[in-house]
């Protein structure tokens, strides 16, 4: 596969390409390295040094603080639950709807598509949506974090388009073999669409992991707060707000240390970063080819 | 084409249908809101019984902001002790502070209100409108019946009122909180005394820049740190302009209210700021500086003074100690930072910028609290919270477990911050501190004692904003835009992008863009309040 | 629509009879498909269409406690306020310019990056870079803004210190209005470009390797392969993303701009999103922001339908 590139121009291109990508990769990741380094540094060091990648004094204090209570650990549990179950819900709703909408002959298809597109552009807003969730008795239930966003219209349309591009012959072959629509979807279309499904699994999972607003609106029970609610709390608590808390006894509440903010970002990011490598293999080439031949 | 048309028609039919459905559903929701009101009745019933047999604890749910990731649970020991002392049964509805505003609006819309709700912005339109439609109990004439609440400050009551009426118990805060803190060690090094006048202040900043206060032989220091505030960059300049004798937002001239920037004193202050900027006595990036890094230059020995709140001094001092310790440097001084309230202006007087004196209200909704008797019991509860022992309990927890008592006035807190966060911190969010904070205090350092002293002294020299209680329609619509015109122009003047004429033009623009209407409306409200 | 369905590569083209069968027969034939459609359809009806009465708030002075039924109706008052605002044209210009720059500079960035990644043959290197470039997506905007300040400030900012050493000058990146848009675009590229490649890489994963082999045999060099095989493979994805992006042409990412805005760059920086937020602070403006949102939606719909129509003119399949 690689042999065709053994030309001088190709080699120059390769070298330039590797350099560009390496630079871009470093630019992307170095600020995060600073955040990681900062999370292990003392607050004094963070005040004094602008940017650094290795802390002079290494301390775990920030992490000890974060994990010393059950609250954050519990909220990580909530986040993982919502992310896993929520993503499955997303995939079910999105794939089924996208599959049927990918059939151009379906009566009423354009009407439904119009509805979907219209809903991307016009929305009722926070309060009307809240009232619907309330009427469905979903308040204070983790389902309120999963159902109201079960389909992203954006994702739906792209998945639908990918489905549309699957060569028709393959489906026809399946049909001749006696597959039902469900069978076609499950045995032929889904395996053929692994890169796409991996992509949207990732998109949905990241969406759930990063979501805090739904939880703030729909969840009153602090026991059910996901991690991001906690993180925001720590990251956004500015000096000014903290100062105002308690001017009656000024030394009572102080803003969280910079190092704790950074540790919190690390804790909130690393788990979701770990999802990617698992999905990455589906981005590899040749999946489609293999299925067609096999 | 034909098909498209048909389709459009179908879409519109569907839209109409769904709107009808939606309307029907919306109807349902308001209907069930009513039924919930009814169920609210049943919860009100026990309180009626309670008034008959006084033993029955008052059932309360309270919506409060929480600033940490931990929060005291309903059955935690401190909450239990509080319930015992006040004969209540409390359920806390904690809301992360970062999004309290949204949650507050949603809660108003949903109709499920708790019995006590924290109102973050007493002038916020959703609260004002709810008050106008009768959602909250009017407490104006009730406060006098309670020993502590009756001592509420007239000034703060006025500031927190809506059209002169009280719809919530304010949470008292220090009025004289604003001030200046600076590097005391630097001041000694350059051989100056604590500034008394504006000139002294200027000389201090100049010496901080030119006389090498950190003694490293390099010209690498400056005087004053200012930051970009999200709300503008006000804080620092707002204090300076008062030193010069300008009014606080509105001034009274011949019985009429006039905006502050119409005063010559205001422009003098602006020129002073420009001088500081031109002579590089203030950080040149003050218009963009990240407010999270405000004290960094002070701690790192780059700058010498900050105009902020008085209690920032001790926080900065702590940081300097920590930084020196961390770097393994000599940390023999007890105190690196000192503090003062304000300096004397050209008129020989001291003028201090006050805070509003309160941080939000605790309001009692009519939908959840049905009877006067229950309001009475809730007010009794809020009144009781101001007792010294309850202030101590809600701020510091239980003796022996969360703090050690040192003497009659002071205590030492447990060093277990996790324990404090998950059992204590947050509970004093519902304490009104009326008339003032009077529980035990943590042992004070000399600097902290000085802070308290400065704050008390500040109270005598504050300049109130006469328009504070007014709710202006024009401001609601155009306030942001009007504010930007002045805010942008003064920064541009300071950095030299516009001259005096440009500044005057900005004021004219302000007037034309609705400022004149605003002045007129404020004066009408002012006249009405006088009569 | 007819034009699209008439195209040769469509499933039904082989069975033109479909269009003549009766509706009932078609419904019966596709009953399984309708069953599959049902959950999604219900979702849209319940969670998207039932709350849609919310757009009516734009014509009210809606106050949460007073509620929808009792709030005062004001007709087009909020629209009038919005359009008559003397700053309206400044806001429109800033919003559109920023969107335009985004379209020109940011939109192609992930595509180029994906193409570059696609040319990498060292699997390990490719995976490492992929993982690295998508990290910034997870860093909150508050932190990004704070880092931007640390790097760009004139008071000891890393970039300006370097500039000063080599040129003797400093650049007011943060307050100079002419630097505002480049700064925002660069921030966006840094933060979202890597993440944006994912979708294109997924599209590229579907390209048949045999096509490259065939191209090589035909003597196509690297560039020609990219041009004739790789790009066409992701063309429809690009078109769809472009069309969908048009719907949010008036959205500029509130938080980012809000954090980078200051009095010295406000004339170029203030956009609809920041303006509505600012109005929200003083007004609690549910109705006002709904009105502005409605205006943005109408512009969005027009652009989406327009772009979709254009795309079809050029033979793309578009959204439908």
Cα(B173)–Cα(B437) distance, integer angstroms: 9
Strand partners, B95: B65
Pairwise CA distance, residues B467 & B250, whole Å: 7
The answer to whether position B503 is within a domain reads yes
Give yes or no: residues B128 and B39 share one domain: yes
B156 and B279 belong to one structural domain: no
Q: Tens digits of per-residue pLDDT, C168-187? A: 888 889 889 999 999 999 99
Which residues in chain B are contacts of C63 at CB distance < 8 A? 125-126, 129-130, 133
Question: Are B295 and B408 in the same domain?
Answer: no
Could you list the residue range(s) of the whole structural domain that residue C52 is in? Answer: 2-313
Same domain, B338 and B224: yes
- The answer to whether residue B1 sits within a structural domain is no
Please indicate, yes or no, whether residues B164 and B185 belong to a single structural domain of this protein: no
Asked if the C-beta of B72 comes within 8 angstroms of chain A's C-beta atoms, the answer is no
Three-state secondary structure call for residue B309: strand
ipTM of the complex model: 0.84
**B107 touches A: beta carbon within 8 Å:** no
Parts of chain A with a pLDDT under 70:
1-7, 236-256, 283-294
Integer Cα distance of B190 and B213 in angstroms: 6
Structural domain boundaries enclosing B524: 472-531
User: Does C171 reside within a domain?
Assistant: yes
CB contact set of B371 (below 8 Å; sequence gap of 6+): B44, B47, B48
Say how far apart CA C153 and CA B225 lie, in whole Å: 14
Within 8 A by CB and 6+ apart from A87, the residues are A201, A204, A205, A208
β-bridge partners, B179: B308
Question: Domain A63-293, what fold?
Answer: MetI-like fold (1.10.3720)
In the three-class reduction of DSSP (H, G, I as helix; E, B as strand; rest coil), residue B411 is classed as: strand
Residue B150 has pLDDT above 90, yes or no: yes
C183, C173 in Cβ contact below 8 A?
A: yes
Show the beta-strand stretches assigned E in B364-409.
403-405
Where do runs of H (alpha helix) occur along C206-230?
209-217, 222-225
Cα B300 from Cα A44, distance rounded (Å): 9
CB count in 10 Å sphere of residue B439: 22
What CATH number is given to the structural domain containing C138?
A: 1.10.3720.10
Q: Within the 172-231 window of chain C, which residues sit less than 8 Å (CB to CB) from chain A?
A: 190, 194, 198-199, 201-210, 212-213, 216, 221-222
Distance in angstroms (rounded) separating the CA atoms of residues C272 and C314: 33
Helix (H/G/I), strand (E/B), else coil: B398: coil
Cβ of A198 within 8 Å of Cβ of C131? The answer is no
* Radius of gyration of chain A from its Cα atoms, rounded to whole angstroms: 24
Chain C residues lying within 8 Å of B123, measured CB to CB: none
% of chain B beyond a pLDDT of 90: 44
Q: Is residue B318 part of a domain?
A: yes
Cα distances from B181 to residues A43, A240, B282, B314, in angstroms, run 21, 16, 15, 9
Least confident of A45-54, B105-114, B130-139: A45-54
- Continuous segment of H or E residues that includes residue B505: helix B500-510
| DSSP letter (8 states) at residue B74 | T
Residue with tokens 């193409």: C115
* C159 assigned to some structural domain: yes
Pair B236, B199 in one domain: yes
Best mutation target among C43, C221, C239, C312 (most A Cβ atoms within 10 Å) is C43
Q: Rounded to an integer, what distance in angstroms lies between the CA atom of residue C118 and that of residue C316?
A: 24
Query: Which pLDDT does position C235 carry in this prediction?
Result: 87
- Per residue in A95-114, pLDDT tens? 999 999 998 888 889 899 99
- Determine the 3-state secondary structure of B357 from DSSP: coil
pLDDT of C53 higher than 80: yes
Short-list C192, C189, C176, C190, CA closest to C269: C176
pLDDT at A53: 86
State the pLDDT at residue B311. Answer: 84
Nearest to B295 by CA among B281, B280, B276, B309: B309
Q: Which residue has the higher pLDDT, B243 or B8?
A: B243
Rg of chain C over Cα atoms, rounded to whole angstroms, equals 25
Residue B311 lies in a domain: yes
Q: What pLDDT score does C5 carry?
A: 39
Closest CA to B482 of C180, C272, C282: C282
Residue C222 covered by a domain: yes
Distance from the Cα of residue B394 to its chain's centroid: 20
- The span from the CA of C38 to the CA of C31, in Å, is 10
* Assigned domain for B16 exists: no
Give the model's pLDDT for residue A255. Answer: 58
Give the span between the Cα atoms of A184 and C11, in whole angstroms.
Answer: 15
What mean pLDDT is reported for chain C? 83
Residue A28 C-alpha, separation from nearest chain B C-alpha, in angstroms: 22
**Nearest residue to A216 (alpha-carbon basis) of A111, A144, A136:** A144
Residue B295 lies in a domain: yes
Domain count, chain B: 3
- What's CA C78's distance to the chain center, in Å? 27
In a domain, B77, yes or no: yes
B265 and B333: one domain? Answer: yes
Within the 289-328 window of chain B, which residues sit less than 8 Å (CB to CB) from chain C? 289-290, 292-293
Residues of B in contact with C86 (CB under 8 A): 513
Compute the average pLDDT of residues C141-164.
85
> What's the helix, strand, coil split of chain A in %, to 5?
75, 0, 25
Instruction: Check whether B112 has a pLDDT greater than 80.
Output: yes
Confidence of residue B283 (pLDDT cuts 50, 70, 90): very high
Please state, in angstroms and rounded to a whole number, the distance separating the CA atoms of residues B104 and B119.
Answer: 8
Q: Residue B269's domain is classified under what CATH number?
A: 3.40.190.10
Name all chains with 3 or more CB-CB pairs below 8 Å to chain C. A, B
**Is residue B40's pLDDT more than 50?**
no
The values of phi and psi at residue B91, to 5°, are: -115, 125
Tokens describing residue B29: 């929701």
Task: State yes or no: pLDDT of C135 exceeds 70.
Answer: yes
């Amino acid at each position: 596969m690689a042999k065709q590139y053994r030309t001088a121009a190709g080699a120059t291109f390769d070298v330039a390409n590797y350099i560009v990508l390496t630079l871009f990769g470093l630019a992307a990741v170095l600020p995060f390295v600073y955040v990681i380094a900062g999370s292990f540094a003392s607050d004094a060091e963070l005040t004094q040094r602008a940017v650094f990648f290795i802390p002079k004094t290494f301390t775990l204090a920030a992490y000890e603080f974060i994990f010393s209570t059950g609250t954050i650990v519990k909220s990580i549990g909530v986040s993982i639950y919502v992310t896993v179950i929520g993503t499955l819900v997303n995939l079910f709703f999105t794939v089924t709807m996208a599959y049927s909408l990918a059939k151009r002959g379906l009566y009423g298809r354009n009407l439904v598509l119009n509805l979907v597109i219209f809903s991307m552009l016009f929305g009722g807003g926070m309060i009307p949506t809240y009232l619907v969730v309330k009427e469905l008795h979903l308040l204070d239930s983790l389902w309120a974090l999963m159902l109201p966003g079960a389909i992203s219209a954006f994702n739906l349309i792209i998945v639908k388009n990918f489905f549309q591009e699957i060569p028709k012959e393959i489906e026809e072959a399946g049909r001749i073999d006696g597959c039902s629509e469900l069978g076609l979807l499950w045995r032929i279309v889904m395996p053929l669409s692994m890169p796409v499904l991996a992509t949207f699994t990732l998109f949905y999972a990241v969406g759930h992991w990063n979501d805090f607003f739904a939880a703030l609106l729909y969840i009153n029970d602090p026991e059910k707060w996901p991690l991001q609610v906690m993180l925001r709390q720590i990251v956004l608590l500015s000096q000014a707000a903290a100062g105002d808390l308690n001017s009656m006894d000024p030394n009572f509440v102080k803003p969280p240390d910079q190092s704790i903010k950074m540790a919190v970002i690390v804790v909130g990011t690393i788990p979701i970063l770990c999802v990617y490598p698992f999905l990455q293999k589906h981005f590899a080439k040749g999946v489609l080819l293999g299925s067609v031949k096999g | 084409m034909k098909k498209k048309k048909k389709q459009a028609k179908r879409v519109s039919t569907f839209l109409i249908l769904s709107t009808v459905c939606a309307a029907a559903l919306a109807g349902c929701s308001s209907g069930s809101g009513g039924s919930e009101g009814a169920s609210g009745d049943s919860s009100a019933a026990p309180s009626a019984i309670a008034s008959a047999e006084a033993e029955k604890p008052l059932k309360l749910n309270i919506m409060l902001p929480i600033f940490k990731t931990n929060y005291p649970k309903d059955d935690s020991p401190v909450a239990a002790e509080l319930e015992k002392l006040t004969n209540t049964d409390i359920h806390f509805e904690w809301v992360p502070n970062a999004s309290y505003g949204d949650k507050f609006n949603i809660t108003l819309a949903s109709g499920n209100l708790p019995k006590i709700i924290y109102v973050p912005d007493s002038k916020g339109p959703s609260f004002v409108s709810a008050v106008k439609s009768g959602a909250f109990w009017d407490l104006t004439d009730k406060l006098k019946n309670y020993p502590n609440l009756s001592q509420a400050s007239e000034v703060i009551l006025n500031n927190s009122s809506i059209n002169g009426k009280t719809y919530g118990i304010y949470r008292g805060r220090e009025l004289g909180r604003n001030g200046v803190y600076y590097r005391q060690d630097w001041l000694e090094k350059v051989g100056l005394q604590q500034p008394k006048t504006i000139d002294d202040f200027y000389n201090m900043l100049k010496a901080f820049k030119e006389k090498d206060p950190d003694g490293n032989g390099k010209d690498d220091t400056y005087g004053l740190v200012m930051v970009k505030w999200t709300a503008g960059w006000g804080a620092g300049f707002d204090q300076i302009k008062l030193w010069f004798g300008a009014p606080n937002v509105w001034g009274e001239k011949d019985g009429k209210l006039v905006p502050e920037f119409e005063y010559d004193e205001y422009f003098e202050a602006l020129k002073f700021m420009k001088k500081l900027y031109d002579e590089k006595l203030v950080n040149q990036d003050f218009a963009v500086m990240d407010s999270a890094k405000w004290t960094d230059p002070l701690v790192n020995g780059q700058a010498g003074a900050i105009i902020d709140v008085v209690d920032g001094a001790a926080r900065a001092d702590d940081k300097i100690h920590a930084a020196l310790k961390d770097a393994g440097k000599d940390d023999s001084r007890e105190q690196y930072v000192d503090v003062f309230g304000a300096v004397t202006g050209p008129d020989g007087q001291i003028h201090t910028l006050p805070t509003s004196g309160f941080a939000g209200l605790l309001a009692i909704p009519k939908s959840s609290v049905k009877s006067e008797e229950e309001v009475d019991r809730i007010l009794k509860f809020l009144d009781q919270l101001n007792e010294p022992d309850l202030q101590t309990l809600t701020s510091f927890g239980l003796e022996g477990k969360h703090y050690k008592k040192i003497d009659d006035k002071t205590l030492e807190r447990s060093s277990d911050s996790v324990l404090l966060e998950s059992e204590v911190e947050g509970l004093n969010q519902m304490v009104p501190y009326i008339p003032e904070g009077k529980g035990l205090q943590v042992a004070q350092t000399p600097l902290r004692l000085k802070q308290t002293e400065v704050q008390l002294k500040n109270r005598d020299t504050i300049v109130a904003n006469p328009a504070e209680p007014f709710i202006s329609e024009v401001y609601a619509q155009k306030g942001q835009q009007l504010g930007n015109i002045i805010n942008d122009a003064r920064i541009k003047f300071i950095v030299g992008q516009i001259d005096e004429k440009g500044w005057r033009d900005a004021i004219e623009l302000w007037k034309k863009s609705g400022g004149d209407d605003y002045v007129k409306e404020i004066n009408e409200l002012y006249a009405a309040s006088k009569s | 629509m007819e034009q699209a369905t008439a195209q040769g590569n469509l499933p039904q083209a082989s069975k033109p009879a479909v269009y003549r069968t009766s509706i009932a027969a078609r419904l019966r034939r596709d009953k399984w498909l309708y069953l599959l459609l049902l959950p999604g359809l219900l979702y849209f009806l319940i969670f998207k269409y039932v709350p849609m009465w919310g757009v009516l708030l734009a014509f009210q002075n809606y106050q949460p406690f007073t509620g929808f039924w009792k709030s005062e109706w004001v007709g087009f008052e909020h629209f009038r306020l919005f359009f008559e605002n003397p700053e309206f044209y400044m806001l429109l210009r800033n919003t559109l310019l920023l969107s335009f720059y985004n379209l020109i500079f940011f939109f192609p960035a992930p595509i180029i990056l994906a193409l570059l990644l696609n040319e990498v043959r060292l699997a390990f290197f490719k995976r490492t870079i992929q993982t690295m470039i998508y990290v910034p997506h997870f860093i909150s905007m508050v932190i990004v803004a704070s880092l931007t300040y640390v790097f760009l400030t004139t008071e000891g900012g890393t970039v300006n210190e370097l500039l000063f050493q080599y040129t003797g000058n400093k650049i007011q990146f943060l307050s100079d209005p002419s630097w505002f848009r480049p700064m925002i675009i660069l921030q966006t590229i840094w933060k979202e470009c890597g993440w944006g490649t994912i979708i294109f890489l997924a599209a590229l994963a579907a390209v048949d390797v045999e096509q490259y082999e065939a191209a090589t045999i035909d003597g196509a060099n690297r560039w020609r392969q990219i041009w004739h095989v790789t790009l066409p493979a992701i063309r429809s994805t690009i078109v769809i993303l472009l069309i969908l992006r048009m719907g949010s042409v008036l959205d500029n990412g509130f938080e980012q701009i809000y954090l980078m805005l200051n009095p010295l760059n406000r004339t170029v920086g203030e956009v609809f999103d920041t303006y509505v937020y600012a109005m929200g602070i003083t007004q609690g403006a549910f109705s006002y922001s709904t009105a502005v949102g409605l205006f943005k939606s109408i512009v969005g719909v027009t652009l989406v339908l327009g772009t979709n129509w254009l795309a079809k003119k050029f033979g793309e399949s578009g959204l439908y």
